[in-house]
Structure 1
Amino acid sequence: MYHILEEIELDLNFKILFVDDENTLNDTIKSLNNYLIITDREYPNIGHQFVLDDTPVNISKFKEKINIEFLKVKFNSQSEVKVSNYIIDLNSREMSEKKIRLKLTEKEINTIIFLSKSNKPVSVDELQKKVWSYQSDMETHTVETHIYRLRKKILNTFDDNEFIISKKNGYQIN
């Protein structure tokens, strides 16, 4: 099967690697971000497996199935963003630390992600423009109200009063 996949690798959304034993498989997985294991049997305690137990297969359908499986793996792996001590799951809109989870709105996630990408405090005007798409000349306290509520949710759930900090020139992730 490896040689067939190697021949059609250009039609696939991923790189093909050959692994012939379970120890090498475990070592290889540790060095990869995204992977899909195509095998004839299921390995316990190893994720992202596509078990090929129905042979022979139509090669076009096979390419389509493994591309879909790999895209699922890639989508799931890209959905998690680490911000400070927390994991933000973009798909489920949750923020978690250890086993504690907090549901967030899309705007709250966008605010956290935007703040986390900045090395300096972000002004209210910039948040209004970039996260809320408001004009800076509008008189509104939307940003301050959302930040206040978000900080309160984080404090109540994680007992963290220092995640989003206020500076004289804006807000910043600590």
Structure 2
Amino acid sequence: MLAQNLIIYKFPVLYHILEELCLDLNFNILYADNENILNDKLKNLDNYLVITKEEKPNINRQFVLKQTPASVYKLVEKINIEFLKVQFNNQSEVKVKNYIIDLNSREMLLKNTKLRLTEKEINTIIFLSKSNKPVSIDDLQEKVWSYQSDIETHTVETHIYRLRKKILNTFEDNEFIISKKNGYQIK
């Protein structure tokens, strides 16, 4: 699991309190007292949460602490819950080419356009995107559909055809899944 990083933005009192407790916490504590320092820290971190006194525009994964809880332990509990939310959201989104695949809502997203997908379509896209070379129809039948390769079926070809058509109609992308002589590929 990636290290969790709590960035405390313009809240020095909170930083000093949590810094004293750092050995008992399951996240790293960082401090930023201006926007440039904050942006520099965010560039280098994947798993982070920014805690502020008031909501700041253009900051993702932000936890606004408007009222300080009665105890530090409740605050740490709230921070841990926010980290769990961030982790859940990170695990639910997969980036494939320029698209985001949202596993929870079963949608493929590009800018403001959404395409609803079936679970099998999502599994196909993810399986293809993880391969560096074309994936054979037999491999797709076995790994995505759990069919034996000696069974004569056109399930894979039919699903790929329909999926490509959906993507073409929604995103006007004719190159998302490419047909090669030895299988299908997402580059």
Question: Which TM class, normalised by the smaller chain length?
Answer: 0.7 to 0.9
Match of 2:120 among 81, 101, 107: 107
Aligned residue pair count: 174
**Equivalence for 2:167:** 154
The reply to whether residue 116 of structure 1 matches residue 129 of structure 2 is yes
Q: 1:43 to 1:162 in 2, by over 3 A?
A: closer
Which deviates the most, 42-51 or 2-11?
A: 2-11
Structure 2 counterparts to residues 23-172 of structure 1, below 5 A: 23-172=36-185
Could you say what secondary structure the match of 2:63 adopts?
strand
**Deviations for 1:24-49, whole angstroms, at most 9, x for unmatched residues?**
22332233223211223322332322
Please state which structure has a larger fraction of its residues in strand: 2
Kept in 1: contact 2:69–2:75 (CA 8 A): no
Question: Is the alpha carbon distance of 1:42 and 1:158 closer, same or farther for their aligned partners in structure 2, counting shifts above 3 Å?
Answer: closer
Could you state the TM-score of these two structures normalised by the residue count of structure 1? 0.86
In the alignment, structure 1 segments of 5+ residues that lack a partner are: none
Q: How many angstroms apart in 2 are the aligned matches of 1:7 and 1:130?
A: 50
| Cα distance in structure 2, aligned partners of 1:55 and 1:155 | 51
TM-score normalised over the length of structure 2 = 0.81
3-state DSSP class of the match of 1:65? helix
1:161 aligned counterpart, secondary structure: coil
State, as a whole percentage, how many aligned pairs show the same letter.
Answer: 76
Mean Cα deviation higher: 29-38 or 152-161: 29-38
Q: Is the 8 A contact 1:35 1:48 kept in 2?
A: yes
Cα distance, 1:78 vs structure 2: 3.5
CA RMSD of aligned residues (A): 2.1
Instruction: Confirm or deny: 8 A CA contact 1:87 1:96 kept in the other structure.
Output: yes
1:132 aligned partner, one-letter code? W
* 2:54–2:65 Cα contact (<8 Å) kept: yes
* Deviation for aligned residue 1:149: 0.8
Give the aligned residue type for 2:144: V
| Cα offset, 1:10, TM superposition | 4.8
